[in-house]
Structure 1
Amino acid sequence: MPKLSQIELYLDGNYSKEDKKIFLFKSRCLCNFWEREVSKLKFTSKYSRINVYVTDGSTEVRVQAMKVVPFLEVVVNYPIEQISHLDDIQLQQHYMRILEKALSAAVSAMPIPLEKSLDILRRFEASNYENEWVQSERVWAKKSIKSKVIAELSMQEFKLIQFVYVDCKLAGQIIIAKTQPRELLFNGFLGELSISKSDILEYKKGKNILSQFDLKSAKFI
């Protein structure tokens, strides 16, 4: 059986195309945080993704399987003001309440560990809505080299930053990537660290080299 790994929020109703775009992109900060944390629970279900449609009409909460299997559709009635007039904190709070309603409804169709899922949302709120993780980290003790790549996902952008330490001191720092906050745009930058035979510290996604640090000159090249 598949594991629940995705949740997506959409505006469905009398909203402008611009509001729908803003709503979708800015929701990824919270949704991505929830997806990464819930994946650690490793529970299985017949649905791997929940699409949440937010309507401002009189529609009751509706849960149904989508034609695209194994996706689940959840429609929630949640009137919301014009998106462009909301500040980030207000919008994050709306996202939190929408997800709480959607997850509570989805329990009727799949065995979600609801309390643990809601706890993820509470932890996100307690962290001041920050979504940051270590994408890759390696230590080469014999060479006295350490490097880590930090991913930062906000409501405005995704940023990937690499740090290189030589003899426990910061020797270099570089922004590897900066994109809009959408996985389709930044997943291609989520790679791993390694050192080549020519003593070049590399950060790569598959065969694509995204950064190089020359250990001999202690500089990015």
Structure 2
Amino acid sequence: MHMHTDLKFMTVMQWMSPAFPIGAFAYSHGLEWAIDKGHVSNGKKLQNWIIDLLEYGSLRTDAIFISLILRGYDAKKMNELSIALCPAGERLLETKLQGSAFAKVIEDVWKQDIGELSLPIAVALAAKNQSIEQDLILPAYLHAFCSNLVSVAIRLIPIGQTEGQRIMLGLSSKISDLVQSASESEIGDLNSACFFSDVSAMEHEHLQPRVFKT
């Protein structure tokens, strides 16, 4: 690696670290409801749940949004579209609160005002401002998101830490595939067909008691 690549890589690792203060640990993306109702009850079902998000759901659209902004699409317009695509109130809350928290740290530490944006748009715009390429930010973003969902399941199902790592290894090729397809996608490819995950996010709004905000 060249020096500038090393610095970009370390920046991405810092942004996507669990220690980066956006409160990702507090959100389950609707997974808590699916676990509570017995729909996701083991490692295999969890892996399939996350694969659906990567292939048909919110992670696919997040990846496309990030790629589009890095290829020059207007961040404000993409943000409006990303908000409109949120299928449930808690999904909207999740992406807006995390996006706001991410933007605040970017402003405080990197001295860049990127504004109030949904999470994928905030990440994309920050990456664009730092001249960070798709092949660095996309896999890191997707890996961090998937890892957070696995962490949710470790706490709730529960599955063991080692099983969680097996699941993450199994997701690696799916993440790689999405990075490739997202980098070639256009705005017309923004669609979602992950209905059970969306319904879970809606149902979670009424779940009591709960551990996670979403």
Q: Is TM (by shorter chain) over 0.5?
A: no
Larger Rg: 1
**TM-score normalized by the length of structure 1:** 0.29
- Larger strand fraction of residues: 1
**TM-score normalized by the length of structure 2:** 0.29
